Amino acid sequence: MLRILLVENEAIIAMGLQLKLTSRGYQVLPVARSADEAVKLHKELQPDVILMDILLSGEQTGIDAACRILADKQVPIIYITGNEHLLNDARLVNNHPLEIINKPPSDRQLFTTLEKFHNGNNQY
């Protein structure tokens, strides 16, 4: 079972994503709402993949969290964002995300990305 760390500061979006993911058989770990919490949960829980919102609670972004996480261990990251202007951040591109999905993510785009990763393309 694929273990997903969901990093999302908007409670309604996080709950919707949790429901979608668990209904498809994915294991959703506790939700992180800030960059610091994402880094902490990543170290503690060692997820298979991270679904990372770019704008989070606090001063640091999801890109900041991803940079800190990737400095420790390579883990696949799927970014979700409703802020297209953030897609030009060089650090985001240098993190080599599996995918960048517009918020709210469509089921098709979300599950196609996860299934490609889970079904054999998980060499990160």
- Give pLDDT tens digits for 53-111: 999 989 999 999 999 999 999 999 999 988 777 777 788 888 889 889 988 889 999 99
* 1-15 tens-digit pLDDT: 899 999 999 999 999
Residue 41 contacts residue 5 (beta carbons within 8 Å): yes
Largest pairwise CA distance in the chain: 36
pTM of the model: 0.91
The pLDDT score that the predictor gives to residue 121 is: 54
Map residue 79 onto helix, strand or coil.
strand
Structure tokens at 15: 């709950």
DSSP one-letter string for 46-74:
--SEEEEESS-BSS--HHHHHHHHHHH--
The pLDDT score that the predictor gives to residue 87 is: 73
Query: Distance between CA atoms of 12 and 123, rounded to whole angstroms?
Result: 32
Torsion of CA 115, 104, 21, 117, to 10 degrees: 20
- Return the axis-axis angle of helices 62-72 and 35-45, rounded to nearest 10°: 30
Q: Domains of the chain by range and CATH?
A: 3-116 (3.40.50.2300)
Query: Distance between CA atoms of 123 and 60, rounded to whole angstroms?
Result: 28
